[in-house]
Amino acid sequence: MDTAYIAILSLVFLFLLHFLVGHVGNGEDKSAQTLPPSPPSVPFLGHLHLVKAPFHHALIRLAARHGPVFSLRMGSRPAVVVSSPELARECFTEHDVTFANRPRFPSLRLIAYDGAMLSTSSYGPYWRNLRRVAALQLLSAHRVACMSGAIAAEVRAMARRMSHAAAASPGGAARVELKRRLFEVSLSVLMETIARTKTSRTEADDDTDMSPEANEFKQIVDALVPNLSAANMWDYLPVLRWFDVFGARDKLKDAISKRHEFLGRLIDAERRRLDDGTDGEKKSMIAVLLDLQKTEPEVYTDTVITALCAMISYHDKLCYYIISCSVQLTLTASLILLFVMKNLFGAGTETTSTTTEWAMSLLLNHPEALRKAQAEIDAVVGTSRLLTVDDVPRLSYLHCVITETLRLYPGAPLLLPHESATDCKVGGYDVPAGTMLLVNVYAIHRDPAVWEEPLEFRPERFEDGKAEGKLMMPFGMGRRKCPGETLALRTVGLVLGTLIQCFDWNTVDGGEVDMSESGGLTIPRAVPLEAMCKPRPAMRDVLQQL
């Protein structure tokens, strides 16, 4: 009898919580609103029981039943999901200012310096100032041009190391895990650009796939990334934070502490260099920010500088987050906060390496496209030198390969979440203020009503402007679009083009590459890509001179 009584009280308690979550603090009469359709919910959890990994696939299944706009309740947080090009345009044009805010998740306080990062800060004067600094100081045309030399040098070093590894392997072909190689390239470029320092790899380390610094930072990123996605229940259910039965808070704090130490070393070294008067004309990003700190110390605090560096570095986890997105936050922003960590130092490295890894996976499964890209490079660049950043704009088919890769595997399949600042209407439905907006870019890019054979890898669909007018938004849209798009595309083009120009590629076992996806804010491969690379005979002399 006592057991039955306790069970009844527990059910009553859960339904009371359900009522309070949905009604407390909201004085509006919801019966007068026309809210987007919604699947059945359960007390307390709302729709969290429907959250499956990868989350963007779960949302596609829900959209098939409830339409291109539907609502969810993620624990105590209301959300609306948009899955069509028309509705995405509506959100980021007609309602761009309304959805310019970011949700304030508890994990954000830990990862994004309490919202100090560009990609996670609320829309307003502070965000506008950071955006101005990013556009004028960190990602200006001059700054991007200064980055080109560092990018090219690291790409050449990667090609040299892979060539040496192949020469020392049976049959002259090396088995390489591309993600680790690509991650180090991204991180090395970021360290050179942000702090004018390099990883400590020496020529004796050419047989290893990562430097000590790259390995250290990759461990930090790997610890943060699993916690960064819209499906992170830790941010929706306070009870999980209160009890923290799995030790998530301690693991997160440990990874954030290591990240802070890593970036702190770079900032301290650059400050000493400035104090000694040895910085020179070519200033690093940190040097630029430290100069701004001297004139506006109350604005450019050490926390803001560290947050900007973290944002830049995280963006690449588009992987391990694309260098261009780095400034927006992305990679790291995506990592732990459910969407926030991707902006950090890890984000930049994640995006570039992940996009390039997906592109190589697709090319290995479509060797005719690989041969076509290789032939274009031979015709435009030749085989007597490595391609350069200046060559990339002239490689139209390579650009089509990258664009098609971003269509099929956008770095952030749900973008970073937005939040409505005021009431508005989307698709004819009412969306109350404080509602989280999730835009399923993955679904929009694969919409069969827009794209012919949307699941097929067909770079040719972008040739000669044939896809003009079709919505592509791998870097977002509207005023919170990633400001590093140009740099990201340039970097991916140089890295991918060099891999294609210098080596012949095959799968490890001769079969097709498994294209299974993993979950998170970004869209990493479920299994890191391993492939066999062999220096092309036509490029052997060039590689030997590196």
Q: Residues at the annotated binding site for heme?
A: 482
> Strands, DSSP E only, in 131-232?
174-177
Compute the C-alpha angle 139/178/341, nearest 5°.
Answer: 45
CA 236 to chain centre: 22
Radius of gyration of the chain (CA): 24
- The neighbour count for residue 274, using CB atoms within 10 Å, is 17
Q: Rounded CA gap, 151 and 141, in Å? A: 15
Return the closest-CA partner of residue 501 out of 371, 354, 365: 371
Return the closest-CA partner of residue 310 out of 475, 120, 105: 120
- The neighbour count for residue 373, using CB atoms within 10 Å, is 22
- Residue numbering of the annotated binding site: 482
Exposure of 51 by Cβ count < 10 A (0-12 exposed, 13-18 middle, 19+ buried)? buried
Helix (H) or strand (E) holding 535: strand 530-535
Return the closest-CA partner of residue 329 out of 343, 342, 339, 319: 343
Return the closest-CA partner of residue 397 out of 492, 300, 309, 462: 462
Per the rule left: phi > 0, alpha: psi between -120 and 50, beta: everything else, 371 is alpha
Compute the C-alpha angle 360/362/367, nearest 5°.
Answer: 90
3-state secondary structure of 101: strand
Give 358's contacts (C-beta < 8 A, 6+ positions apart): 405, 408, 409, 523, 525
Residue listed under structure tokens 């012919």: 452
Asked if 503 contacts 148 with a C-beta cutoff of 8 angstroms, the reply is: no
Asked if 490 contacts 142 with a C-beta cutoff of 8 angstroms, the reply is: no
Per DSSP, what are the bridge partners of residue 506? 532
Between the alpha carbon of residue 541 and those of residues 157, 159, 384, 408, the distances in Å are 15, 13, 8, 36
Q: Rounded CA gap, 456 and 368, in Å? A: 14
